[in-house]
Amino acid sequence: MTFGLDRTRLQFPVLYLTRFATGFGFATLAVLLATYVNQYDPSGLMLGLFTSGFAIAQTIAVVPIAYLGDARDKRNVLVGVLALGVLAYVGFAALDVYSGGEWAFVGVRAVQGAAVTGSGLLSLALVGDRSPPTETAQFIGKANSWRLLAGILGGGVSGILYDVYGFGVVYSVIVGLLSVAMAGVVFVLSPDTTRVEGFPFRDLAVNARILTLTGFRAPYAVAVTLVRTWVLLYAGVEALQGGLGFAVAAVSIVYGAERFTNMICQPYTGRLSDRFGRAMFVAAGGGAYGLVALAVPFAPDLASAIALPSASALATAVAGLPGVDALVDASTAAGLVERGLDTPSGTFLVLVALNGLLGVADSFREPASMALFADEGSDGDGVASSFGIRELVWRPGSVLAPLAGGVLTEQVGYASVFYVGGASALVGVGAFLAALWYTQGADALTSW
Q: What is the pLDDT of residues 65-90, one digit of tens each?
A: 988 888 888 889 999 999 999 999 99
pLDDT of residue 194: 75
Average pLDDT across the chain, whole number:
84
Query: What is the pLDDT confidence band of residue 107, given thresholds at 50, 70 and 90?
Result: very high
Q: Quick check: is 171 in a domain?
A: yes
pLDDT of residue 9: 65
Q: Quick check: is 329 in a domain?
A: no
- Which tens digits make up the pLDDT trace of 260-298? 999 999 989 998 998 888 899 999 999 999 999 999 999
Q: Quick check: is 323 in a domain?
A: no
The runs of H, that is alpha helices, within 237-345 are: 248-276, 278-295, 299-305, 311-319, 330-341
Closest by Cα among 299, 229, 259, 172 to 37: 229
> CB of 410 within 8 A of CB of 233?
no
- Stated pTM of the model: 0.77
**Which range is least confidently modeled, 283-287, 345-349, 418-422?**
345-349
Interval 399-406 mean pLDDT = 88
Contact residues for 199 (Cβ-Cβ < 8 A; gap 6+): 67
- Which tens digits make up the pLDDT trace of 351-376? 999 999 999 999 999 999 988 888 77
pLDDT of residue 44: 77
Q: What is the CATH number of the domain that holds 408?
A: 1.20.1250.20
DSSP string, 376-389: HHTTTT-HHHHHHH
- Which tens digits make up the pLDDT trace of 426-439? 999 999 999 888 87
pLDDT of residue 4: 43
Buried b (16+ CB within 10 A) or exposed e, 293-317: bbbbbebeebbeeeebebbbebbbe
Contact residues for 424 (Cβ-Cβ < 8 A; gap 6+): 219, 220, 222, 223, 226, 290, 397
Enter the DSSP assignment of 100. -
> CB of 248 within 8 A of CB of 343?
no
Closest by Cα among 146, 22, 128, 7 to 81: 22
Domain count, the chain: 1
Q: What is the distance between the alpha carbons of residues 44 and 199, in angstroms, rounded to a whole number?
A: 40
Q: Quick check: is 324 in a domain?
A: no
Q: What is the distance between the alpha carbons of residues 118 and 139, in angstroms, rounded to a whole number?
A: 19
What are the distances in angstroms from CA 316 to CA 11, 311, 334, 424? 46, 9, 5, 41
Burial class of 6 by CB neighbour count within 10 A (0 to 12, 13 to 18, 19+):
exposed
Q: Quick check: is 434 in a domain?
A: yes
Q: Quick check: is 164 in a domain?
A: yes
Interval 389-411 mean pLDDT = 87
pLDDT of residue 3: 39
Q: Which domain holds residue 16?
A: 2-310+345-447
Q: Quick check: is 288 in a domain?
A: yes
Query: Which residue type sits at 364?
Result: F
Interval 395-399 mean pLDDT = 83
Instruction: Give the rounded distance of the alpha carbon of 433 from its chain centre.
Output: 25
Interval 25-45 mean pLDDT = 83
Q: Quick check: is 315 in a domain?
A: no
pLDDT of residue 310: 61
> CB of 395 within 8 A of CB of 211?
no
pLDDT of residue 219: 95
Res. 151: pLDDT tops 80: no
